[in-house]
Homo-oligomer: A and B are copies of this chain.
Amino acid sequence: MSETYGIPRPSLRRLPIYYRHLIEMAERQVPYVSSKDLGQNAGVPASQVRKDLSYLHEYGRPGVGYDTKALAGYLEEFLGLANDKEAILVGVGNLGRALTLYPGFAQYGLQIIALFDIDPAKIGQTVGDREVLPMFKLVDLARRLKVQMGIITVPPHAAQEVASAMVSGGIKVIWNFAPCKLTVPAEVLVKSEDLAAELAALSHHIMRRSQVLAPATE
């Protein structure tokens, strides 16, 4: 049941990687790209690439490969990268500012149209042309503008409250950078980016690595 409208989640998450390589090859005027090529760039076997693409029912040509532009275009459409997607961001700290100004998002159609913070000192400041608004304006603004995504970059203790406000505002997709669990209605999708947890997992690797490299004690 982890399928996402017909395509397995891990496959879906590899598609943007393929897409990126296709764009690069298109810029270099390479007319066809093979699954082997795509796989090497993405760090997966060629068979994985072919299987992933087979879910899309976009076919390549045996002996040749996939039409670079056609496949890039199809992936762009499938992922909805060309469509404009509007988001609001709550929590104008360092991370919030960084995401607001991150150039990669605009390339994929994401427009962060409003910023919010609870800190009165930050309200009225501007970050890349956008003014920081007070929290009480969030629900109404999200409703009026039919905002599609909410980005949370507040400390964990405030995240649930922010998420609930977003839900009240009709937001259906939340991208959460606070290291905590959010409780939302089932129709709302939450994707959490837990950097502290990722670090903790990496930390384990670092520990094990140094243990392995150190002389054995037994």
Contact = CB atoms under 8 A, between A and B. Distances in A.
A17 interface: yes
Given A4-B204, A205-B173, A108 B41 contact: no
A189 to B, nearest CB: 6
A109 to B, nearest CB: 7
Interface string A133-155: 00000000000000011000000
A202 B173 contact: yes
Given A181-B41, A203-B108, A205-B189, A210 B20 contact: no
B202 A175 contact: yes
A46 interface: no
Interface in A11-55: 12-13, 15-17, 19-20, 41-43
Contact of A199 (B108, B200, B207): B108
Interface string A75-89: 000111101010000
Chain A contact surface mostly: helix
Contact of A80 (B41, B179, B181, B204): B204
Copies of this chain present: 2
Contacts of A16: 194, 196-197, 200-201
Nearest to A100: B94
A193 B191 contact: no
A contact residues, range: 35 or more
A94 B83 contact: no
* Those 4 A-B pairs whose CB atoms lie nearest each other, nearest first: A80-B207, A16-B200, A94-B98, A16-B197
27 contacts: A12-B201, A13-B197, A13-B198, A15-B200, A16-B197, A16-B201, A17-B194, A43-B181, A78-B204, A79-B201, A79-B204, A79-B207, A80-B204, A83-B207, A94-B94, A97-B98, A98-B98, A102-B195, A107-B196, A109-B203, A149-B202, A172-B206, A172-B209, A173-B205, A175-B199, A189-B202, A189-B209
